Amino acid sequence: MKIVFKSDQFTWKNGRGIAECSDLEINRGPSQFEIVSTRTGEVKTFEFDKNSPGYEDGWDGEYWSYTSNELDERVIKVTILND
């Protein structure tokens, strides 16, 4: 099942997005999802950021970190908080 969020569901600052599970209507952070820009319509795919500190411990369930998987473009980071 493909999970798709809209960019306006996140708060953005300097190429980093943040949202809470309740705002996204999910119970926990998915391993992969897409975000559609409400401004441009562009779609980006995000996956767990395996280089993020705490990844191996599952971030203790407090949050999940993601990164866009486009290798040739500027990397975008997203955090989903477990509220």
According to the model, what pLDDT value does residue 66 have? 94
> What strands, in cross-sheet order, belong to the sheet with 63-68?
4-6, 32-36, 43-48, 63-68, 77-81, 16-20, 11-13
CA 53 vs. chain centroid, Å, equals 15
pTM of the model: 0.86
According to DSSP, residue 53 is labeled: T
Looking at the 3D structure of the chain, how many domains does it have? 1
Distance CA 54, CA 48 (A): 11
pLDDT digits (tens, 9 = 90+) for 1-57: 799 999 999 999 988 999 999 999 999 889 899 999 999 999 999 998 888 887 766
Structural domain harbouring 8: 4-81
Q: Is 70 exceeded by the pLDDT of residue 59?
A: no
